[in-house]
Chains A and B, each alone.
Chain A
């Protein structure tokens, strides 16, 4: 297993366009998390899935943000009608229920979004 993969690594889009990011977690991990990281800040939790169920989504930043994990494997994060304030790094992480702290969360390298 090569870890958590995120695609694309970089995305430049015009304001008002929709964008979608993909995350492929470690295959045996049933939990998947999305975070947003703006410049000079730590990652901020957005939402998480346990298998295909999205169990927490109240912290998605607005109704323009949505996420799916249709078969409990990969996940997508979509931002509709992008705004310049959406420019940030979007990080995905996965973990296994009953994790051990020493290897509890594995992060991807992130997708850097720039809205122009």
Chain B
């Protein structure tokens, strides 16, 4: 069975600074995919970044990068140059197998507050 762990319930960062949100995972699958989503107070889940287990390079999408350490089973999200609009809940997720149609298995999330 898969497990996603996010140990930081809440984080603060000052505007324009970088912040790292932690995510560790456990799976017996050799091939897997990891996602990060942002959920603002409006409720929708916004896709940020994806890392495949066989991807040789860490994923990057604009100000978002994923620090993927496969041996340590960690997939931390790094947000550079934080903006006030980055204040939201952030969820790490892993894609499940074919039986569930590759549904996502989410962690509990980290609440990020960006301060001026």
Query: Do B101 and A93 touch (CB < 8 A)?
Result: no
Q: Which residues of A contact B93 (CB under 8 A)?
A: 42
- Stretch from A14-22, A48-56, A62-70 contacting the other chain: A48-56
Please tell me if B56 contacts chain A, counting CB pairs below 8 Å: no
Q: How far is the CA of A107 from the CA of B106 in the complex (A)?
A: 14
Looking at the assembled complex, report how far the CB atom of B52 sits from the nearest CB atom of chain A, in whole angstroms.
7
Q: Which residues of B contact A48 (CB under 8 A)?
A: 100-101, 103
Instruction: State the 4 A-B residue pairs at the shortest beta-carbon distance, nearest first.
Output: A42-B106, A107-B45, A101-B50, A48-B101
Which residues of A line the B interface, CB within 8 A?
31, 33, 40-45, 48, 50, 55-56, 59, 89, 91, 93, 95, 101-110, 112
Given contacts A42-B108, A48-B100, 20 further A-B contacts (CB under 8 A): A33-B103, A33-B104, A42-B93, A43-B104, A43-B106, A45-B103, A48-B103, A50-B101, A55-B101, A56-B103, A91-B45, A93-B104, A101-B50, A102-B47, A105-B35, A105-B47, A107-B45, A107-B46, A108-B44, A109-B43
